[in-house]
Amino acid sequence: QVQLVESGGGSVESGGSLRLSCAASQHTYSSYCLTWFRQAPRKSREGVAALTSDNTTVYADSVKGRFTISKDNAKNTLYLQMDSLKPDDTATYYCAARPFPQTTLDADRYNYWGQGTQVTVTS
């Protein structure tokens, strides 16, 4: 069983930056696909950025050029650097992992989830 714990959320003004972290309970990052999702109130969960074991990245169109996903295998930690934040980025952010190398932003294909961290962007 893989446990994921997010941190780094908070409140920031529009145009600001935040970096989210996701720590795993075991060494997963060498072979798993890792992804950040978000869910705003009354909206469905949205895939934001995915990172495969060979460091291929996929981003949602809404965050391309503003968000960067990365990982530190030695620390078993996944990151999401969020720059130029907008009020529309306000949501609970979750990290997720699946024990397959293929990239997908489909939430139904993920086996493990963190508890989420809140990001609020004020105008």
Residue-by-residue DSSP string for 9-43: -EEEETT--EEEEEEESSS-TTT-EEEEEEE-TTS
Which segments of 65-114 are extended strands (E)?
67-72, 77-82, 91-98, 112-113
Query: Residue 30's pLDDT is what?
Result: 66
- Tens of pLDDT along the chain (123 residues)? 789 999 999 999 999 999 999 998 876 666 788 999 999 999 999 999 999 888 899 999 999 999 999 998 888 899 999 999 999 999 999 999 998 888 889 999 999 999 999 999 999
Query: Residue 29's pLDDT is what?
Result: 60
Query: Residue 25's pLDDT is what?
Result: 81
Query: What is the phi/psi pair of residue 112, to 5°?
Result: -125, 140
